[in-house]
Structures are given as C-alpha cells and as structure tokens.
Structure 1
C-alpha cells in the first residue's frame, strides 16, 4: 500500500505541474505570436505523441524489464519541460517543449501503470487504482488553481511556469523514494501481470473506432484557452480557473458514470459522449455563463 501511495503522490505533483501548464498554454502561445491554427497543431501533435508513443515505450519496457528506469526517464522529460517554458522567446520554442512534455508522458505512463498494477495486486486493485486516481485528479485541480492565483497576483506567464518547477521536483523526489524503497516492485509477483494475449477481439476495434472519432472532434483546452485569451471574454487569470473547473467536473462525472456503467452497461458511454458533443460548441461561446457550461 505504501508504494501505491508513493505513486499517487508522484501523480499528484506531476498533475499539478503539467495540468497547471495546460491551463495557460493556449493564451501563452497566442502571446508569443502563434495563430489559432498553430495552437491547434501544437496541441494535436502533442496528444498524438503522448498516446501514440506509448505502444513503443510499453513494448520496450516489457522487453527490457527496466520499468523503473523507463518511467524515470519519462518523468524527467515530462516534468522538466514545463518550467523550461519560462525561458522560451517564441512559440516555436514553446511548441518543442510541449512536444517533449507529451513525449515524456508517453514514455513513462505504460511503465508506471505496470508498476502500479503489480503493487495493487492481491485483491487490492480497485482500491489501489482508486487511491491513485483520486490523488491524480486532486493534482489536476490544484495545478490550474495555483497558476490562476499567480496570474491574479500580477505574475506573468513565465512566473507561473517557473513556479511549476516546485511540484515537478517534488514529483521526481517521490519517484526516487518509490524506486529506492521498492526496486523489485514487479519481480517476481508481477511476472504474470506482464503476460499478454496476442491480438484483440472484434469488440475492441468496434470500440476504438468511435473513440477515435470522438477524439478527433474534441479540441484541446489549449485552443479553447487561446480563444479566451484573444477575445478577452474573461480576465486572463480566470482561464486556468475554468480549466480547474473542467478537471473537477471530470472527476465527479467519472464517479457518476462509472456507477451508471456498472448498472446500465455500455449505453451509458454513448450518453456521456453525446452530452459532451452537444456542450462542446458552448466552450467557444462569447457568453460567460454558456462558456463555463461548455
């Protein structure tokens, strides 16, 4: 259980770092001269790297059995890219760091999840992942709130990014502590957990196709934040607050829809996707109330 809590703290401080940055990334890129097209491209490329490269990093970690080392490399790249944004002078430089941050997340996530799965074995998987997800979501709310607080006090974007270096260092320290305390977290108990079956059932692909289409239709918050910054619908310091609100709602809805899924099955997912799609245009509204709802 101690390892689960340590990994949860890693995710808590990590989410404070990069979710805090995501709350102001869009308007910051706009300030550096990026167009809406450029912001959308940077955010989209980052997500492509952040998810696509997991196939490669997960395969490498399983083959090498160096899950701790792979996770450590990923966390270093992922976390240190964020405060480095404070040193950028053009949106092109910032775009490179955004790509590096997402690449780091792609490198570390499969290994982190493998270690967590092994740590939560023995009938504690639900509790283990529940604790981890709770700490993860707390960080996702605290990060944007902290950044908004800095901006409200008159700090600049660079001040906010630099401040996020503190939770980044704390996350790396928690990871080092976990690695030092449990160097063989996936050995030997975790060997069975690493075995996989070849191929995926037909239902998997029937699920992935609509999920891919949904992902293609939803803009990253960086683009929404860019829109808010350019139109000045809300003060700049409120933009990360809106992102924190979205993260909080995400956490609550995850609990609610998870409970409904157990009761009603897969049709609940269709309901949630439809609801999100209908609300999405409101995020680009010029009305503050509708914008917050979106």
Structure 2
C-alpha cells in the first residue's frame, strides 16, 4: 500500500477514535453533568450550608484531579489504559444514579450524598489520564487542537442533554429522586459504547526509556520546565474558577430561578463550553497557545456576574463559566499532549491534573467562605489569581521559541507562544 493510501486510512482510524471517545463522553456526561447540575440544590435540600457545599464540590473536583497523580503513572507503567478507563467510567455510571435515594433516607442522606459525589469524582481520577492518553494517540494525528476540540464538543452535547433531562423530570415530578434515577440509562449506554470502542482503538506507544521511581513519576521530575510553568498557569486559573455548585447554591438560596430551571441554566453553560472548545481548538492549531489568554478574563467575569441579584447577569456569568470550562477541558489538554512524549502522556496528564486539583480544593473552599462574608473580596481574590495566570502564560510562551502545531506533523510537538 502506498504512503498516499496509508495516510488517509490512518486519518480515518484516528477520527474514529476521536469521535468514538466523544460519543462515550457524550453518554457519560449526561450522567455526571445531569447530576452535577443539581448538586447545589440537592445538598441544600439535605441540609448543607454554603461552606459545606463549596467544600464538597471543590474537594470533589480536587479528588478528580489530584488522584490522577497515581493513576497516570500507573497507566504508563502497566499499559492498562483500557482497564483503568473502564473502571473509572463504571464508577460514574453507578454512583450518580444512586444519589436518587439520598432524599429518602433521612439524616444519613447528606453523608451518603457526599460520599457518592466524592466516589464519582474518584472514578474520574482513575479513568482520565488513561483515557486522555488513548485520545491523544488519535488526536495528534489530526491536529491536537481540533481533535480535542471535536471530542469536547461531543462531550458537551451530553453535558447539555443531561441537565435538560433532569430539568424535564424535575418539572414533571417536582422531586429530585426520579431525575437522578433516570441517569442510569445513559450510564449503561456509555459502558456499552466503551466496550465496542475498545477493540477498534490502538493502544498508546509504550515509552522505550526506563521509568524512574514511583516518586519521580509522581512529581513529574522529567517533564520539563515549560510543562511545569504551564501547569502552574492552569492551576491559578482553576483556583479562581467558581464551581457551578456554588452558582447553583446562589440561584437556589436567593430564589432567582425555580429549582427546575437551574439545570437549564447549567445546560446553557455547557453549550457555550462546546462552542468555546471548538473555537479555541481550531485557533490553537493555527496560532498556538496564544489563544489561552482569553481564559483569565473569562474566569474573572464569572463571580462578577454570577453572584448578583439579576437573573440576566447570573446567566451571563454562567456563560463565562461554560466558556472557561470549554477552554480548560479541550485546548489546555491539547497543549499538554504537545508538551510531552507519547509514552509519558498519562503520567503528564496525572501530574498536571494533580496541580490543578490542589488549586481546586483551595479555591472551592475559599469561594464558599468568602461568598458568605464578602462577594467583593471574593472577586478581588479571583482577580489576583488571574493576574498570576497571565504572568505565567507570558513566561511559558517566552521560555522556548516554538511554532504552532500542524495537522500533518504527528511527532510530539510543542505549542507556539
């Protein structure tokens, strides 16, 4: 077979992997995002305070990130990318629908809800580095930015549809239990799609260089200065990004929106995230990581608008929140793929996520405390963090002169700056 014949076939196979993982994420995100859209109201109904809500949602996101520092090196060392991916998705498919019973069991409901939310986030930590390495194997063959962008756009369709399903069931029944229980259906679909995809997606290439100790892998000692600068920049952005759990708590406690409308607002944010992922992904393939300078501004605008008493301002804040998440979950992952060797990507994703997770737990807890005391102080803290983000992005871009990645170059690349 000629080279001209092989390349189109390889690109078709790569796109099958990108789209396949996108469809898995579509179904799985119906589960997680459907539940996440009412975590704030659910916890409030079960008796949680604003501080507890902020701590739980922040700690959940931190677990989803920090624990990857173990699962990432584990995937690269063992090559068990698929086993870890299946285990992680399985936890999501089980834990979120089980939240349906928490309003029915009295005083124990709050504790069980917290445990299930954290367990689901642990599942995210287990699967994400391995899944991202599998996805990067395909995405880098079609252009990292567009590959991760298309995947994220499909992912966001599920993130949009899940809250819509929850909102419809809330409107029809007036209770949380049926809405959460129905999420077992897309969970089963996600697992079926994943098993189908397993035999049709290539494994990542194992690193032919010897690994260091577990500790060296865990701290990312061989990932390079530019990787670490970029990780710190992303962490400062993550620390300032208010969770939707806090926004949902604000909407519920102030009565700005009825309970059934909160998932609709969340779904709108996910739709914005899909558009942001596509736009910045395509921009990254053309001009490099300069597109990321929009992220700090988006993060800052979230509390400026979301914690007001105007419905329209809050919705604008949710749109900014969605756009920031779209950039974080697509283009930032594309940059990480281009900064690291193929056989170390799961480790890199794990270390990178752990840095973000440490920032998320601090940011989530601080946001919950400041929300109850002074929203202007909360905005000031977020603004300071985003100044740090901009400075670190500037240093990262200047630390090594590089070109933007291209579609035809499938070797490990470094983003332009």
CA distance in 2 between partners of 1:122 and 1:217 (Å): 33
- Equivalent of residue 154 in structure 1, options 173, 177, 180: 173
RMSD between aligned residues:
2.5
Going from structure 1 to structure 2, the CA distance change for 1:157 and 1:195 (only over 3 Å counts) comes to: farther
Which blocks of at least 5 consecutive residues in structure 2 are unaligned?
A: 1-12, 212-219, 318-417
Going from structure 1 to structure 2, the CA distance change for 1:94 and 1:291 (only over 3 Å counts) comes to: same
- Equivalent of residue 93 in structure 1, options 101, 106, 112: 112
Q: Find the residue that maps to 1:87 and give its secondary structure.
A: helix
Contact 1:40 1:219 in 2 (8 A): no
Verify: 1:76 aligned to 2:90, yes or no. Answer: yes
- Equivalent of residue 250 in structure 1, options 258, 268, 273: 273
Going from structure 1 to structure 2, the CA distance change for 1:254 and 1:6 (only over 3 Å counts) comes to: closer
Number of equivalences: 290
CA distance in 2 between partners of 1:279 and 1:4 (Å): 30
Contact 2:242 2:302 in 1 (8 A): no
Cα deviation per residue 1:138-182 (whole Å; 9 max; x = unaligned)? 111111111111112234111111011110011011112223x34
Cα deviation per residue 1:213-236 (whole Å; 9 max; x = unaligned)? 222222211111112112111111
2:60 — aligned with what? 46
CA distance in 2 between partners of 1:53 and 1:185 (Å): 25
Going from structure 1 to structure 2, the CA distance change for 1:265 and 1:17 (only over 3 Å counts) comes to: same
Contact 1:71 1:111 in 2 (8 A): yes
Verify: 1:271 aligned to 2:290, yes or no. Answer: no
Cα deviation per residue 1:249-290 (whole Å; 9 max; x = unaligned)? 122223333455566655542333124303422111111111
Which blocks of at least 5 consecutive residues in structure 1 are unaligned?
A: none
| 1:36 to partner: Cα distance | 0.5
Verify: 1:145 aligned to 2:160, yes or no. Answer: no
Verify: 1:291 aligned to 2:314, yes or no. Answer: yes
Instruction: Please give the residue correspondences for 1:1-294 in structure 2 after superposition, counting only pairs within 5 Å.
Output: 1=13, 2-88=16-102, 89=105, 90-120=109-139, 122-123=141-142, 128-179=147-198, 181-182=199-200, 185-186=202-203, 190-191=205-206, 199-261=222-284, 266-294=289-317
Q: Find the residue that maps to 1:153 and give its secondary structure.
A: helix
Contact 2:150 2:278 in 1 (8 A): no
| 1:55 to partner: Cα distance | 1.6
CA distance in 1 between partners of 2:293 and 2:147 (Å): 28
Going from structure 1 to structure 2, the CA distance change for 1:273 and 1:280 (only over 3 Å counts) comes to: same
Going from structure 1 to structure 2, the CA distance change for 1:41 and 1:193 (only over 3 Å counts) comes to: farther
Between 1:282-291 and 1:146-155, the stretch displaced more is 146-155
Tell which structure's C-alpha radius of gyration is larger: 2
| 1:100 to partner: Cα distance | 0.4
Q: Find the residue that maps to 2:86 and give its secondary structure.
A: helix
Between 1:194-203 and 1:82-91, the stretch displaced more is 194-203
